[in-house]
A and B are shown apart, each in its own frame.
Chain A
Amino acid sequence: MGPYPHPVKQRPRHPALTWLLLPYVLFLAVLPAANRVAPTVLGLPFLFFWMLVATLATPLAVWLARRGDRARGRGGEGA
């Protein structure tokens, strides 16, 4: 076996991966607007509500990135 038997695929970064920046936007970029107590949502002070939204949106962002990834034939079992 040679030092590296497989041809190297230089793959361009897919735009779907920009979904991974969504948590940074939600947690950080939006913070100045979310840093407030009122209005309360479901009783939660707004900042804490917003952080919960961002936390739950994170897996969604990864799912979207993965969906884009799979759309160009990467990932899946046995990949």
Chain B
Amino acid sequence: MNATVSTALFGGFMVVTVVLGLLAVRGRGSGGGLAEWSVGGRSLGTVFIWVLMAGESYTSFSYLGAAGWGYNFGAPVLYVVAYMSCGYALGYVVGPMLWAYARRHGLVGITDIVAHRYRRPWLGAAVAVLATVCLLPYIQLQITGMGVVVSTISYGTISLNWAYFLGFAVTCGFVVVSGLRGSAWVSVLKDVLVIATLGFLVVYVPLHYFGGYGEFLHRVTAEKAQWLTFPGHGSGGLGQVWFVTTTVVNSLTVVIFPTTVAGYLGARNAEALRRNAMYLPFYNVLLFVPMLLGLAALFVVPGLTGADSNLALFKLVVDSLPAWAVGLIGVAAALSSIVPMAVFMLVIGTMWGRSVLGAVPRLATRQKLWSQVVVVAAGALALVLTYTAPNTLVRLSLISYEGMAQLVPMLLLGLVWRRLTWLAAVSGLVAGFALVCVLVFGGHDPVWGMNAGLVGLAVNLAVALAVTWLGPREADDRPDAEVLAVDDEFPEGEAEPVRASS
């Protein structure tokens, strides 16, 4: 009975999700080209940008990993709030800058930006390949996250393997057709459900299990003090230095993360992004909920270990709530996988359609079509790897964020500093990325208490500066205004440059 109710509710909402995603492009015809699909025709206002960016950053990790980290370690989980807050503040400057640059030159993503800045299409293609390697694990994380949520809230009716497939199918069901705009529409449903269900849980769980907030917090403080300060409980070196270095490097990375940039580029104007930078950080308050519930789970379901601790929050939900509520919370968590997965797949598709396949002259006229094909291919690859070799992507995911961080100098420094040569940017990237791989796969992260990504970034920057000063100078006769992001405004009423795409 329970299973029927929650599964039916879940199924109903999945249908609504696909329909909503497809409705987003109703009346817009099938034309519109790559920019219409990849960045929503650069037409989203403050509200949609807020909903979309909140939607894509609040992933299934927020439900599973944040509660799991809270349960296992305690305080170190706060890094998520810290880096997202700092990153959103930084986005006030970076967002409008990237938006105006992309708009001025008709670009649709970071690979495109790199290719234009350094005037080397192959560099855009190489960055696309690298970024794809870093992003694929995130798709798998969303697929497996959705899997455990769905099989838990359906009380086992839907098997893990079917739930994985469902995640892939629902996401493909709308994003292939409706792109970023569809993701923004689905985000509306997602954000409403996430805010409502977490708002409810944060009140209900302490009341139900502890008789109130005061009592809950009192018990945590009295009995679990080790969880409440750095380095937390049994975290293996996640101390204050780790927290500070991780926050710094992640806050720099999140502003150039391809999915974040897709959100930036979707904006109607720079002002929408500035306003968004002000409102978006409020969303981070919600992150405290799974963290606190992870701590609450320490008392209610003690002894969870390994991957099971990620279910800390859902054990409480299934244990204490009726089936319809379990179903609804499951839908919110499933959408927290689906929306980010859609945007991850979308940016991979865009990077390949524009910068890899689009760079081949014979294929360049069908960039949107190639992007859509790659969306399905990338999702299918992640799905197949989830079934056949799950550990491959899990291992890769260890370097995802820290690897992506190595693109910061090439992108951000490159857009404000003319002298940075392509050779210097590439040398830095290679050095930083290699160092991150060595440290992470060698089991040295954190290294001397510091996040390995920041160590890599420091080496990356040093190499890039050294090669710029000592290496060959570049002969590029374009004016600064063509190469650099010198102004973050875009004149009203000016048409976007038309580039080869359909």
- A36 to B288 CA separation, bound complex (whole angstroms): 18
- A22 to B489 CA separation, bound complex (whole angstroms): 25
Q: List the A side residues contacting B279 at CB < 8 Å.
A: 59
- A44 to B201 CA separation, bound complex (whole angstroms): 17
- A10 to B486 CA separation, bound complex (whole angstroms): 7
B213 beta carbon closer than 8 Å to chain A: yes
Q: For the complex formed, measure the closest distance between the CB of B218 and the CB atoms of chain A, giving whole angstroms.
A: 7
Q: For the complex formed, measure the closest distance between the CB of B285 and the CB atoms of chain A, giving whole angstroms.
A: 6
Q: For the complex formed, measure the closest distance between the CB of A73 and the CB atoms of chain B, giving whole angstroms.
A: 11
The answer to whether B85 touches A31, judged by C-beta atoms less than 8 angstroms apart, is: no
Q: List the A side residues contacting B380 at CB < 8 Å.
A: none
Q: Which of B78, B220, B482, B489 contacts A51 (CB 8 A)?
A: B78
Can you name the residue of chain B whose Cβ is closest to the Cβ of A4? Answer: B481
Query: In chain A between 9 and 57, which residues have their CB closer than 8 angstroms to a CB of chain B?
Result: 9-11, 17, 20, 22-24, 27-28, 31-32, 35-37, 40, 43-45, 47-48, 51-52, 54-56
Q: List the A side residues contacting B228 at CB < 8 Å.
A: 37, 45, 47-48
The answer to whether A20 touches B248, judged by C-beta atoms less than 8 angstroms apart, is: no
Q: What 0/1 readout, one digit per residue, does chain B (269-286) give for beta carbons within 8 Å of chain A?
A: 111001101111110110
Q: Which of B214, B270, B278, B280 contacts A43 (CB 8 A)?
A: B214
Q: For the complex formed, measure the closest distance between the CB of A52 and the CB atoms of chain B, giving whole angstroms.
A: 7
The answer to whether A45 touches B247, judged by C-beta atoms less than 8 angstroms apart, is: no
- A59 to B480 CA separation, bound complex (whole angstroms): 33
* Interfacial residues, chain B to chain A (CB-CB below 8 A): 75, 78, 81-82, 85-86, 88-90, 92-93, 213-214, 217-218, 220-221, 225, 228-230, 240, 243-244, 247-248, 251, 269-271, 274-275, 277-282, 284-285, 288, 478-482, 486-487, 489, 491-492
- A69 to B274 CA separation, bound complex (whole angstroms): 10
Q: Which of A4, A63, A66 contacts B482 (CB 8 A)?
A: A4
Q: Which of A28, A36, A66 contacts B82 (CB 8 A)?
A: A28
The answer to whether A45 touches B220, judged by C-beta atoms less than 8 angstroms apart, is: yes
The answer to whether A28 touches B247, judged by C-beta atoms less than 8 angstroms apart, is: yes
Q: For the complex formed, measure the closest distance between the CB of B86 and the CB atoms of chain A, giving whole angstroms.
A: 5
The answer to whether A54 touches B229, judged by C-beta atoms less than 8 angstroms apart, is: no
Q: For the complex formed, measure the closest distance between the CB of A74 and the CB atoms of chain B, giving whole angstroms.
A: 7
22 contacts between A and B (CB under 8 A): A4-B479, A8-B486, A23-B86, A24-B247, A27-B82, A27-B85, A28-B82, A28-B247, A31-B230, A36-B229, A43-B213, A45-B220, A47-B78, A47-B229, A48-B75, A48-B288, A55-B281, A55-B285, A56-B285, A58-B281, A79-B270, A79-B489
- Main SS at interface, chain A: helix
- A3 to B75 CA separation, bound complex (whole angstroms): 53
The answer to whether B90 touches A20, judged by C-beta atoms less than 8 angstroms apart, is: yes
The answer to whether A20 touches B81, judged by C-beta atoms less than 8 angstroms apart, is: no
Q: List the A side residues contacting B280 at CB < 8 Å.
A: 59
- A41 to B439 CA separation, bound complex (whole angstroms): 40
The answer to whether A66 touches B282, judged by C-beta atoms less than 8 angstroms apart, is: no
Q: For the complex formed, measure the closest distance between the CB of A42 and the CB atoms of chain B, giving whole angstroms.
A: 8
- A69 to B86 CA separation, bound complex (whole angstroms): 19
The answer to whether B487 touches A52, judged by C-beta atoms less than 8 angstroms apart, is: no
Q: For the complex formed, measure the closest distance between the CB of A69 and the CB atoms of chain B, giving whole angstroms.
A: 7
Q: List the A side residues contacting B274 at CB < 8 Å.
A: 66, 69, 75
Q: For the complex formed, measure the closest distance between the CB of B106 and the CB atoms of chain A, giving whole angstroms.
A: 13
Q: List the A side residues contacting B218 at CB < 8 Å.
A: 43
The answer to whether A35 touches B278, judged by C-beta atoms less than 8 angstroms apart, is: no
The answer to whether A27 and B86 touch (CB under 8 A), given A8-B487, A59-B281, is: yes
Can you name the residue of chain B whose Cβ is closest to the Cβ of A10? Answer: B486
Q: For the complex formed, measure the closest distance between the CB of B164 and the CB atoms of chain A, giving whole angstroms.
A: 34
The answer to whether A59 touches B230, judged by C-beta atoms less than 8 angstroms apart, is: no
Q: List the B side residues contacting A77 at CB < 8 Å.
A: 271
Given contacts A31-B243, A44-B217, 19 further A-B contacts (CB under 8 A): A8-B487, A17-B92, A20-B89, A24-B247, A27-B247, A28-B82, A31-B240, A37-B225, A37-B229, A45-B221, A45-B225, A47-B75, A47-B78, A47-B229, A47-B230, A52-B285, A52-B288, A54-B85, A75-B274
